[in-house]
Structure 1
Amino acid sequence: MREYAKVFQGTAFTSATPKEVTALKDRLFCIREDGVIGRVVAPEEDDYQAIVDAYRDGPGFRRLDEGQYLLPGFVDLHVHAPQWAQSGTALDIPLYDWLNTYTFPLEAKFSDLSFAKNVYEDMVSTLLANGTTTVLYFATIHKEASILLARICADKGQRGLVGKVVMDDPEQNPDYYRDADTATALKDTEEFILAVKELGASAKQGVYPVVTPRFIPSCTDEALQGLGELAAKHDTHIQSHCSESDWAHGYVQERCGKHDAFALHGFGLLTEKSVMAHCNFLDEDDAALFAETGTAVGHCPISNAYFANSVIPIARWLDIGVEIGLGTDISGGFSPSLFDNARQAVISSRMLEDGVNGELPASKRGVPNSRITINEAFYLATAGGGESLSLPVGRLEEGYAWDVQIIDTALRTSRLPLYDANEPLEDIFQKIMYLVRPENIREVWVQGEQVHKRE
């Protein structure tokens, strides 16, 4: 009977579909030695009690306390790790000015590995404490500091997908912060890929290299083409920014004569392992290309409210089969919490549907059928993120990694308003999604290993 490394007993919530959340009441989650869920056993199954009897006196058994619930670990599809050092500042200026006045000078400092280590260790720990178990990271142009970020993810137990950023165009990037030239950018990228693949081979949860052109405005055509070839050669994930703002979207149209999506596709950068951040200005053809190629959207609702100049129609793109997950976009988004971003995703969608200009009649004020529910936002933060990365994460079911958050709703200092012993689990789930704060996240597990515990 004792064939599992760990057995957890408790109630959990997981996405069944983008619109439906399943409450798994009093389940046994049987975790294999490799950190993967081997079985999920319901109380009515014949061997439920036999499993409890076999494991409950051993060190691998855990019964959740009253008021505690399991959620899948969150998947963050867009984090600029170096920008954690400026998070919460300079959010009131246009994107172009923000990058050149604040962001690029900060990122240039990551040539200093001591500085990079301090910021990256704090960033990874902060995201884990917020329930985020898998993260798609932009690092900087610095090869060694980018490898260091991957190593920190491996050491702290976070599933990190890390990209050494490429910015090689001397006409578009400042002299103090860019790749020396295109050949160097491509050489450093390939060496980075090989180093991170070697590092990831010994990390239980997996650490992965990501081909990362910052965005089309920062890269030459030669670099973009070369990065597409490297991604194909080494079968890596790919990330960039796509049609984020009026300025960025317009620049690509003027330079390439086409939208970002088709320009990126021409360079071999749209694949089933690609995630493009923001994408606020996709049109129907762009979205259809994303669905056809398996390219995912990293939706960053808080950041978009500051810098994207529009609200992306998430509901419409979900309906045509585009893969979508959530991102915090540290530090264009000020919060490291995907709980906060899930809430903002719902708010922004309601504003898109209802409109914002009260001088217009209601029939002309918004975009119909644009709202999403908290169930859909939860899906984006979990299963949608896993599907976007083509990884078995974000669900609590057999064959998926045991990446979980243990949420305590009865915490004395941050108690959720749950007073009825018979309150429906659906209502409890919604209160968790809207009201949980970091202190409610008592433990975080990745690939069957505890990586965070709040005392």
Structure 2
Amino acid sequence: MTRYTQVFLATAFTSRSKQDIEILQDCLFCINEQGMIARIVRPEDLDYTAVLAEYEQTDHFQRIEKGSYLLPGFVDLHIHASQWAQAGTALDLPLNEWLNKYTFPLEERFSDLAYAQLVYEDVVQTLLANGTTTALYFATIHKEASILLANICAEKGQRGLVGKVVMDHPDETSPHYRDMNVQTALEDTEEFILAVKELSKTTKQGVYPVVTPRFIPSCTDESLHGLGELAQKYDTHIQSHCSESDWAHKHVQKRFGKNDTQALNDFGLLQDKTVLAHCNFLSDEDAALFAETGSAIAHCPISNAYFANSVLPAARFASMGVDIGLGSDIAGGFSPSLYDNARQAVMSSRMLEDGVDPSLPADERGVSDSRIALNEAFYYLTAGGGESLSLPIGRLEEGYAWDVQRINTLVPTARLPLFDNEIELTDLFQKMLYLVRPENIQDVWVQGELVHSRR
């Protein structure tokens, strides 16, 4: 019989498709030494009893107790790690003013590695405690601090995709916080890529360098072109902001006579490992280019409510074949919890469909067929995030990483309102997605390793 390093007996939930949840009741999850799901043995399988008997009296076995359930670890497709220090601050300001008054002066401080370590260690641990097992991070322009963030992800066990930010345009950046010139920006980015690729060789769950032009307004044409070449040379992921707000969207149209999507594609920055945040103002032609290139949208519903001047038509873009996942967008979004962002994604989609102006007739008030259900938001949190990153994560399925969170519904300080022993598991799943707080997330595993525990 095949030997496994860990076997879990549990009831779990995973996405079968965008609309359908698969309930894996009382299954045996068999994990190999690489931290991958080697096999899922269901109660109806002929060898279920034999596998259970072989492992249940060993140190390799763990029974997830009554009242606790497993969910895949969540994938955060857009977070500014440095901005954790300003989360919940000045969200009433316009985006451009918020960036210049708060964000850029804060990010400038990350030249101080002691300060960077203080913030980065805390944000990585906070995300793990909230069930986020993979995070796509913007760091800052500082090469050394960006490498430090990758090291912290490696040490704490989170799968981190980290980008050294590039912003070199003298007209759209502060003289106190920008890359010195195109050459420095590209050289630092290349050295950063090589350092993180070397680190990844000894990191079980993987850390990845990400080519990261902050957004088109902050970058010169030369740096955007050079970053496209670096991404191709080293086969890295790419991230940026795209058509986020009226201001940013119109800036790019004025500069290039086209939308962000087309401009980024011209610079070689749209490909299967590209994730672009927000994308609220994509045209149908833009969305078709996303689908054609395999680029993905990081939907940031809480942040969008403050800064994007619109609601992302996620249902429409998904129907066009665009990959979509969720992002917290700390600190444009105040919450490190992707549970909160999934809830907001559902609510925002309902507001888009129903409309928000009560002075208009009902049939003129909203955009039809815009709502997404909770199951779809869960898909974005998990499988959609994995597909957006082209990584085998986000599903409880054979061949995928054992990235899992154990949810205890009976925690005294955060007990879910479950008063019927015969509650349908589909109803229980919805209660968890809507009501779970960090106290309920008792254990978190990444690539088979326990990285967070409240016990």
TM-score range, shorter chain: over 0.9
Q: Is 1:283 aligned to 2:262, yes or no?
A: no
Matched letter for residue 331 of structure 2: S
Does the residue aligned with 1:288 lie in a helix, a strand or coil? helix
Q: Is 1:314 aligned to 2:327, yes or no?
A: no
Matched letter for residue 175 of structure 1: P
Matched letter for residue 78 of structure 1: H
> Is contact 1:6–1:60 with CA below 8 Å preserved after alignment?
yes
Matched letter for residue 120 of structure 1: Y
Question: What RMSD, in angstroms, separates the aligned Cα atoms of the two structures?
Answer: 0.5
1:346 CA displacement: 0.1
Alignment of 1:77-226 (within 5 A): 77-226=77-226
1:380 CA displacement: 0.3
Alignment match, 2:363: 363
> Is contact 1:70–1:405 with CA below 8 Å preserved after alignment?
yes
1:419 CA displacement: 1.5
Matched letter for residue 33 of structure 1: E
Deviation digits for residues 251-289 of structure 1 (CA, Å, limit 9, x no counterpart)? 000001100000000000000000000000001000000
1:2 CA displacement: 5.7
Alignment match, 1:35: 35
Does the residue aligned with 1:277 lie in a helix, a strand or coil? strand
Report the Cα distance in structure 2 between the residues aligned to 1:337 and 1:344, rounded to whole angstroms. 11
Greater shift after overlay, 443-452 or 53-62?
53-62
Does the residue aligned with 1:430 lie in a helix, a strand or coil? helix
Report the Cα distance in structure 1 between the residues aligned to 2:181 and 2:408, rounded to whole angstroms. 51
Does the residue aligned with 1:188 lie in a helix, a strand or coil? helix
1:421 CA displacement: 1.5
Matched letter for residue 285 of structure 2: D
Alignment match, 2:8: 8
Alignment of 1:286-365 (within 5 A): 286-365=286-365
Matched letter for residue 339 of structure 1: Y
Matched letter for residue 344 of structure 2: Q
> Is contact 1:2–1:55 with CA below 8 Å preserved after alignment?
no
> Is contact 1:2–1:54 with CA below 8 Å preserved after alignment?
no
Matched letter for residue 448 of structure 2: G
1:418 CA displacement: 1.2
Report the Cα distance in structure 1 between the residues aligned to 2:25 and 2:421, rounded to whole angstroms. 14
1:172 CA displacement: 1.0
Deviation digits for residues 50-89 of structure 1 (CA, Å, limit 9, x no counterpart)? 1111111111101111110000000000000000000000
Deviation digits for residues 330-349 of structure 1 (CA, Å, limit 9, x no counterpart)? 00000000000000000000
Alignment match, 1:59: 59
1:6 CA displacement: 0.1
Report the Cα distance in structure 2 between the residues aligned to 1:87 and 1:134, rounded to whole angstroms. 20
Report the Cα distance in structure 1 between the residues aligned to 2:23 and 2:369, rounded to whole angstroms. 27
1:422 CA displacement: 1.4
Matched letter for residue 307 of structure 2: F
Runs of 5+ unmatched residues, structure 2: none
**Normalised TM-score (structure 2):** 1.00
Report the Cα distance in structure 2 between the residues aligned to 1:275 and 1:307, rounded to whole angstroms. 19
Greater shift after overlay, 100-109 or 412-421?
412-421
Does the residue aligned with 2:186 lie in a helix, a strand or coil? helix
Q: Structure 1 segments of 4 or more deviating over 6 A? A: none
Report the Cα distance in structure 2 between the residues aligned to 1:95 and 1:283, rounded to whole angstroms. 22
Deviation digits for residues 387-441 of structure 1 (CA, Å, limit 9, x no counterpart)? 0000000000000000000000111221111111111110000000000000000
- Count residues in correspondence: 455
> Is contact 1:386–1:393 with CA below 8 Å preserved after alignment?
yes
Alignment match, 1:431: 431
Alignment match, 2:262: 262
Percentage identity across aligned positions? 69
